[in-house]
Amino acid sequence: MKNILIVTGGSGGHVVPSTSFFEHLKNKFSVKMVSDLRGSKFINKNKFKYELIDVPNLFLKPYLLPINIFKYFFNFFQSISFLKKNNTNILISTGGYMTFPFCLAAFILKKKIFLFEPNSVLGRSNRLALKFSTKIICYDENLKNFPTKYKSKKVVIEPILKKEIYNLEKNSINQKKETKKILIIGGSQGALFFDENITDLITEISKKQKLEITQQISNKNNLPSIINKYDKSNISYKFIEFTNDSYELYNGVDLAITRGGANTLSELSFLNIPFISIPLPSAKDNHQFYNSEYYHNKNCCWLISQSNIETDKFVKMIFEIFNNSQNYNKKIKNLEEITKKNTWNNINNKIIEIIDEN
């Protein structure tokens, strides 16, 4: 039996898919998982066992660079020791700075390396590791910043989703509901902009449309103010925090307002929930914009720049979405079309085929 190590960490965008990889592989291979401290908070400790190896972000705090360089070299030798001790045959890296020491160690030990890139832009760590990887698994055939000379390494598959997502009821067309349910979710990084700005837009919308809101709050200090605004506007609401088990939030949602994280967009799309994407402007390589653009080009969502949001225009757009059933239903049909081949069994067979054929 092959021994596989999944190395992950950082944001939920890296960690959430790693747990799905684990679920897909655990019945056929011996699988272990490694995460850094930051990423460990997105792992359900009751479902997944993992080793903690904390890797510093070299450039996050420049004044700590000398210390972090020393730690990084220590992590590299720690990675070599871990791979040898566990007799690892295959490394699966979900990207991010924390995975690179393991990728480099696997290369030196002549282990097979599979990279995973859920975004529509090739991440920097994956770009560095691509040269000595076996394959890179991705969702977008037209991956930005991808060197054409490594085209043969690219394997495009349907988005890898949590198993529980497949058991949820999908959104359907022709729903004439008096109360519209809106999900506002900023992803694992949160969205202070949503706390401070989208909340005010929702109160404006509620003047003409009865709403039920499920909203991720990024800063708990904003909670009293938001509650006060929603109570005054007679809005039904529930506040949430981001977790790896966020699939329960999608039930009955008519429209989502979100950032451009690959996992969230994949889940919304699979469940036929049309969404308004407002990408994080500071996202590395503008990857959230390109993730959203992928769906926008297929007429599956609405895409807005954060800097271009104006209250009157945004409110008008929401009313248009809810009142123009033809456009809304077209989005749902397009989502159905692009996700129809995504089943747990299809993805499971594909992942195992990729691992086994090399």
HSE, side-chain direction, 13 A CA sphere, residue 139: 23
Q: Which residues share a beta bridge with 183?
A: 214, 256
Query: For the chain, how big is the Rg over CA atoms in Å?
Result: 21
- How would residue 180 be classed by pLDDT, with cut points 50, 70 and 90? very high
- pLDDT tens digits, 337-347: 999 999 999 99
Q: What is the reported pLDDT for 63?
A: 66
Measured on CA atoms in the order 117, 121, 122, 123, is the torsion positive or negative?
A: negative
pLDDT of 190 above 70: no
Secondary structure class of 54 (helix, strand, coil): coil
Q: Which residues share a beta bridge with 117?
A: 138
Q: Two tokens at 4?
A: 């596989």
Q: What is the reported pLDDT for 73?
A: 75
Q: Which amino acid is at 334?
A: N
Q: Summarize the confidence of residues 94-101 as an average pLDDT.
A: 88
First to last CA, the chain: 14
Between CA 327 and CA 325 the distance in angstroms is: 6
HSE, side-chain direction, 13 A CA sphere, residue 335: 24
Q: Summarize the confidence of residues 270-289 as an average pLDDT.
A: 93
- pLDDT tens digits, 206-239: 999 999 999 988 888 888 999 999 999 999 999 9
Q: Two tokens at 277?
A: 């994407």
Secondary structure class of 341 (helix, strand, coil): coil
Structural domains present in the chain: 3-161+344-356 (3.40.50.2000), 166-339 (3.40.50.2000)
- How would residue 243 be classed by pLDDT, with cut points 50, 70 and 90? low
Mean pLDDT of the chain: 90
Q: Summarize the confidence of residues 253-270 as an average pLDDT.
A: 95
Q: Summarize the confidence of residues 62-78 as an average pLDDT.
A: 74
Q: Which amino acid is at 178?
A: E
Between CA 261 and CA 232 the distance in angstroms is: 32
